[in-house]
Structure 1
Amino acid sequence: MTEILFYHLEQRPAEAVLPLLLEKTLERGWRAVVEVGDESALDPLDAALWTYRDDSFLPHGIGDGERAADHPIALVAGQVNPNGAQLRFYAKGAVPSEGGDYERVVYMFDGHDPDAVTRAREAWKALKPDHDLTYWQQEPNGKWVKKA
């Protein structure tokens, strides 16, 4: 059973939170694929992974081209898994509809966008019968707290 984590973003945007979660993913030796809801979100996310911290670099590629399998992190705008990732992130409007063959799925949604919150609630209801779900919310100090 795929573990699915819902991350309710209120304090910081996905571009600030995702690099930290991707660092932890790579520390575990996992590969990750990050799906966004629209291709226009790929370039800003790519830029964030290059610039989020001066002393760090997250090796990644965009899309599912011939070199995609070489990258430990793939940024995509569709349901492909070009690098054989064990962990899938959904961000910037992408919404999970199943757990797939992943060890873990992380769904990040903008808590300041009422439509995103509605989509998250709908996803929770749809995924709950077949998956182990947890809900995480960020406190003002930046700490993530498991709420459900």
Structure 2
Amino acid sequence: MDHHTPAHRGADRCPPDADDATAAGVGKLTEALETVERARGHLYSMHQLTGHADGVLDEAVRLLREAGHHGAADEITHRLIGRNVIDGRWTYQLVEEYDDGYYADFRQVERAVRQRLLGGVRHVHEAAMKERRRSGGAPGHEAAPPDR
């Protein structure tokens, strides 16, 4: 892409008919989506950590049985291994429901609003901030990467 197109020039990424309040509002919507992306990552972490813990229980049961603690091993086996984390669901089901419901809707709304109000351009608010905050002409403060 040409480095002189609006997608690379900083503040003028904002469509000419969009005012600052619109750019700021869409920016906040995108910030909220970015927060949901982080929450989704934490949900996947919970999914993987819970699955790992469930797998480690197998080793705990084996070691306890070897040490003669069959009652404790049985309790772990019957109460914890393979247990639902909430009624009727393992963590993969939580992840799938989150992804297919709230997360999918959030992404769709953010994209539609951004498309309708800013022509689909992403990070308009940040591009304007970059333009305001950079020191023109100083190394490391270029408006765009050099042409390659």
- TM-score for the superposition, normalised by structure 1: 0.21
Higher relative contact order, structure no. (Cα contacts within 8 Å, ≥ 6 residues apart):
2
TM value normalised by structure 2: 0.21
Max Rg structure: 2
- Which structure: greater strand fraction? 1
